[in-house]
Structure 1
Amino acid sequence: MKKVIFMGPVGCGKTTLSQRMLGLALQYDKTQAVAFYPDIIDTPGEYILHRQYYSALSVTAAEADVIALMQSATDKTQVYSPGFGSIFPKPVIGIVSKTDIAESDAVIQQTKQRLREAGARQVFCLSAVDEMGVKELLAYLEEEEIK
């Protein structure tokens, strides 16, 4: 499997998705520092929310094969600036999380569009809690060649 780095604001589901992908029990655990697993890098949400940490994201992303920009379907803010993903010389995907509790499909579509504008070539919609869409993400990460 390709190594993925999860980036996104506090509470968007990076750690929960990591736990799901690793087969661990789902429990809330605020990420205080970058967590490294064999195929996953989980970053603190503050790294996206504060520009002074962008260089830390850039350096940490050097260890990954795929950059995953995450945003919750419950977060209606503009998290990423347009073209944000272009700072990474690697494939960038988007992940809309918490789709199981989204207000509407229109909100999910709007979040997908924001991630595309940030530079995501492909966007996955999922819920780590009910496992919806997780298999599709795993299949993508297990592909021989990343698109």
Structure 2
Amino acid sequence: MRRMMLVGRSESGKTSLTQALRGERIQYSKTQSISYHDVIIDTPGEYAENKDLSAALAVYSYEADIIGLLISATEPYSLYPPNVTGCVNREVIGIVTKVDKEEGDPAQAETWLRLTGCQRVFHVSSITGEGVDQLLSYLVMEP
């Protein structure tokens, strides 16, 4: 299975997705530092939100085969600039989280992820399990 690093702002669903991918019970837990979970690298949202901390994402990305950019379907804006995936020397996929939320707009979140350069975008809900199996299957596939 390929190792994936999850990147996104605080409360975008990185830790919940990590728990869902591992088949664990979903419980909120604030990630304070880079956390390794088998083939998932969970990063604090502050690393993506703060330019002074963002260099750490570049360093830790070398330990991953795939970078997963997360945007919640409930986000009012995108944290990522257009075409940001061009400066990453790993495969970058988009992951729209919280697709089960009635107030969400998964299509808008996917549009933002495609603007970053993500060619492949997954829609998931860590709570209902929607899309989690498809993402797991993708991680198992050979590149």
- Band of TM-score, shorter chain: over 0.9
Structure 1 stretches (4+) deviating beyond 3 angstroms?
Answer: none
| Identity within the alignment, % | 39
Provide the residue aligned with 1:40 in structure 2. 40
Partner of 2:110: 112
Contact 2:10 2:45 in 1 (8 A): yes
8 Å contact from structure 1 (residues 5, 40) kept in 2: yes
Could you give the per-residue CA deviations for residues 33-76 of structure 1, whole angstroms, max 9, x where no partner exists? 01012200000001111112221000001000000000100012
Matched length = 143
CA–CA distance in 2 between the matches of 1:102 and 1:79?
22
Which residue of the partner structure matches residue 78 of structure 1? 78
Unaligned 5+ residue runs, structure 1?
none
C-alpha deviation, 1:87, in angstroms: 2.2
CA distance in 1, matches of 2:68, 2:86: 12
Q: Distance in 1 between matches of 2:90 and 2:77?
A: 25
Root mean square deviation, CA, Å: 1.0
1:7 is aligned to 7
In the alignment, the residues of structure 1 paired with residue 74 and residue 102 of structure 2 have an alpha-carbon distance, to the nearest angstrom, of: 6
TM-score (norm 1): 0.93
Deviation at 1:102, TM superposition (A): 4.1
- Report the Cα distance in structure 2 between the residues aligned to 1:53 and 1:116, rounded to whole angstroms: 24
